[in-house]
Structure 1
Amino acid sequence: MLTRYLLPAVAVVAFSFAILSMTKAQQVPAPVSPPVDPGRSPFGRQVAGAGIVEPETENIAVGTHVPGVVKAVHIRPGDRLLAGAPLFDLDDRQMTAELAVRRAARDSAAAQLAKLEAMPRKEELPPLEAKVVESKANLDDKTKLFERARRELNSGVGSNETYETRQMAVDVARAQLRRSEAELELSRAGAWAFDAAVSRAAVAQAQAQVEQTRTELDRLKVLAPRVRKPGADRTLDPIPSGDLVEFKVLQVNVRPGEYVGTTPGQAIIVLGTVGRLNVRVDVDENDIGRFKPGMKGTAAPRGDPGTQFPLTFVRVEPYVVPKRSLTGGNTERVDTRVLQVIYVIDRADVPLYVGQQLDVSLDATP
């Protein structure tokens, strides 16, 4: 009874399930619309490219001259500042102590030079003059004794030994007088010119070391760079304050207490100019032959293809570089090279941010 009715029923259910599964597998899925329609070009023939919004001066990644620990950060993202404004400071305790040491060395060298230039001391001359007078009196005394000994020798009373002894005493007294007069003249002459020159060189060297330490201290204070406005006279030096651009702080990647180094490419602070925005367009190497400088263009933000911004050609950067910004297309390869073209957005009130990606269409109509 079980075999007669149950097994055929199970077979019928399994067969029905297999037919239902095959039917569902062969159904064509309904087309799925993209969440956002891709941007449409207003031109009949176009050269398409991916664009990145950047400031007029490009992104300025501010670094540091020397590595160290950050002492203070003076800015925040979104701040506006002028060229030369302080950005952040590094720990300067060691250089401040070194500056004090070098200032003391400079003052010591300056005091030594002042001492040489003030020579001779008026208090040193009277003892030397008195010594000369004393030497003259001693010479006169020895001369008189020598004359007496010579007369005695001539008269047959004196001895040759006494004569020679007193003659030598006169020579010694005369040499002592010459030495005393020379010491007096040396003191009156003051410092030797070459000694003064050596002291002046020592003062100059110490002052240079002080200035060097001051420069190192200044390097611990990172300031906003001095950048000319587009179209400003590039022959003027120093740059007039009216020709300097105004910056906007785009990014701050440092905090007090953090260690910063001089690693190339390390963007500690990113600055950009306040004003019109540029678009850096990557033209694929396969489309370079169809691109012509001066082509008109439009740009649409990703996710908002209905908004179009007119673009005006600025310049071509004539070096073809590897593509770094990938859009996710199936035809893109990592080894693709692109020609970078700079366009400016004509409108000044565009709701765009630096670093935002745009879909760019360039008019390739003959």
Structure 2
Amino acid sequence: MPVLAVVALVFAVIQMTKAQQKAPPAAPPVEPAKSPYANQLAGSGIVEPETENISIGTHVPGIVDRVFVKVGQIVRPGQPLFRLDDRALSAELAIREATLANSQASLERLRQMPRPEEIPPAEAKVNEADANLKDMAKLYERYRKFAASSAVSDEELVRREMAVEVAKAQFAKAKADLDLLKAGSWRFEQDVATVAVRQAAAQVEQTRTELDRLIARVPNMKFTEPLSALAGGLAGVDDSPFEVLQVNVRPGEYVGTVSGQAMIVLGYVGKMHVRVDIDENEIARFRPGVSGVAKPRGEPNQEYALSYVRVEPYVIPKKSLTGGNTERVDTRVLQVIYSLDRKGRTLFVGQQMDVFLNSGEKK
């Protein structure tokens, strides 16, 4: 028993000694980024295109018929990105184009009136009515002479007189029809036909516009500040190339006009920007125009020089959380935009970076 007690005591002492020893600190798999400045402002940054992310939506809901682009493709303003099913509108366009053609033909027919072939028949009717009138007049004169000798009754004489009046009316009608035919179409009839043509043309244009709205295109954008290499450094250009950063739509899918739903994301990535979040507690130390450096997460040895671009003077709630012990979800941040030179190295839009701004001198 004494021996067992001694052994247990020795074992307990050894275990307590081991338990009190501190384990050596574990080396992190990647060294955290370090600031090169003695006085610094630190913040997290998100890489974004020089034009920011351009989220492409759709004018109208529908089923996607075809997608024309793929991720990484360079596109220019006006180039189609995807198209919705257009069969119903194409059929409607055919109907309205036929209506327009009918209206135009009716207007042209009114303008070309009368046809040369219509004049001779109308003149022949006038001659026929004239001959009939002369015949009725001579017959009436003969009957009137016979009436003096009581060879013709008064009733028959009256009938012949009325026949002359009828012949006169027929001649007048035939002559008026000829004059009306030679005068052509009425000006107001042409005005009505012209308005019908305009209405049909407007309906055709409306359907074509609706068809064009089924195609999502690269927007035409002009920039007050010059873009970099791909645009030739010119300000105000409206044919700057964009890169397709993301495609979230496939043929056969239904898409709607939901706010914030990005079907395709574009951006001009000739030069990258970094959107830096400055904590509201550090805003007083920030001065516009200060220089800085950015280091990608996981690559602390890679350093990118930053050039100040602008401040967005609206403090917003912080959305990009880093997991720091002093970080609160109700923190608000001031966003500052910096440009960086990639120097041929690979950076991706949306990549997170550690940013250090110089508020003093370098070490």
Q: Same fold (TM over 0.5)?
A: yes
Matching of residue 72 in structure 1 with residue 72 in structure 2: no
Distance in 1 between the 2:332 and 2:315 partners?
A: 6
Instruction: Tell whether the 8 Å contact from 2:222 to 2:236 is kept in structure 1 after alignment.
Output: no
Q: Which residue is equivalent to 1:263? A: 258
Task: Give the alignment partner of residue 115 of structure 1, picking from 109, 130, 144.
Answer: 109
Distance in 2 between the 1:266 and 1:365 partners?
A: 43
Q: What is the deviation of 1:227?
A: 3.0
Instruction: Tell whether the 8 Å contact from 2:223 to 2:235 is kept in structure 1 after alignment.
Output: no
Q: Which residue is equivalent to 2:269? A: 274
Aligned residues: 355
Q: Which residue is equivalent to 1:358? A: 353
Counterpart of 1:36 in structure 2: which amino acid?
Answer: V
Q: Which residue is equivalent to 1:128? A: 122
Show the 5 A alignment for 1:160-309. 160-228=154-222, 231=225, 244-309=239-304
SS in 2 for 1:44: coil
Q: Deviations over 1:149-200 (max 9, x none)?
A: 4445556665543443333322222222211111111111111122122222
**Would the alpha carbon gap of residues 155 and 104 (structure 1) be closer, same or farther in structure 2, given more than 3 Å must change?**
same
Instruction: Tell whether the 8 Å contact from 1:49 to 1:359 is kept in structure 2 after alignment.
Output: yes
Q: What is the deviation of 1:342?
A: 0.5
Q: What is the deviation of 1:69?
A: 2.2
Instruction: Tell whether the 8 Å contact from 2:318 to 2:330 is kept in structure 1 after alignment.
Output: yes
Matching of residue 140 in structure 1 with residue 134 in structure 2: yes
Distance in 2 between the 1:263 and 1:166 partners?
A: 87
Instruction: Tell whether the 8 Å contact from 1:309 to 1:347 is kept in structure 2 after alignment.
Output: yes
How many percent identity over aligned positions?
56
Instruction: Tell whether the 8 Å contact from 1:276 to 1:348 is kept in structure 2 after alignment.
Output: no
Distance in 1 between the 2:28 and 2:131 partners?
A: 123
SS in 2 for 1:124: helix
Matching of residue 56 in structure 1 with residue 43 in structure 2: no
Task: Give the alignment partner of residue 93 of structure 1, picking from 84, 87, 93.
Answer: 87
Q: What is the deviation of 1:356?
A: 0.5
Distance in 1 between the 2:120 and 2:296 partners?
A: 95
Counterpart of 2:303 in structure 1: which amino acid?
Answer: Q
Distance in 1 between the 2:153 and 2:235 partners?
A: 98
Distance in 2 between the 1:17 and 1:212 partners?
A: 93
SS in 2 for 1:281: strand
Q: Which residue is equivalent to 2:230? A: none
TM-score of the two chains, using structure 1 as the length reference: 0.84
Q: What is the deviation of 1:214?
A: 2.4
RMSD between aligned residues: 3.2
**Would the alpha carbon gap of residues 16 and 182 (structure 1) be closer, same or farther in structure 2, given more than 3 Å must change?**
farther
Instruction: Tell whether the 8 Å contact from 1:232 to 1:243 is kept in structure 2 after alignment.
Output: no
Q: Deviations over 1:246-284 (max 9, x none)?
A: 222211222222222222212221122131111011112
SS in 1 for 2:137: helix
Distance in 1 between the 2:112 and 2:317 partners?
A: 71
Gaps of 5+ in 2: 228-233
**Would the alpha carbon gap of residues 45 and 149 (structure 1) be closer, same or farther in structure 2, given more than 3 Å must change?**
same
Q: Which residue is equivalent to 2:38? A: 44
Gaps of 5+ in 1: 234-238
Q: Deviations over 1:42-92 (max 9, x none)?
A: 222222211000111111112222222222223222222333333223222
**Would the alpha carbon gap of residues 33 and 170 (structure 1) be closer, same or farther in structure 2, given more than 3 Å must change?**
same
SS in 2 for 1:248: strand
Q: Which is worse superposed, 268-277 or 355-364?
A: 268-277
Q: What is the deviation of 1:94?
A: 2.2
Instruction: Tell whether the 8 Å contact from 1:77 to 1:249 is kept in structure 2 after alignment.
Output: yes
Counterpart of 1:343 in structure 2: which amino acid?
Answer: Y
Q: Deviations over 1:279-298 (max 9, x none)?
A: 01111222222211111111
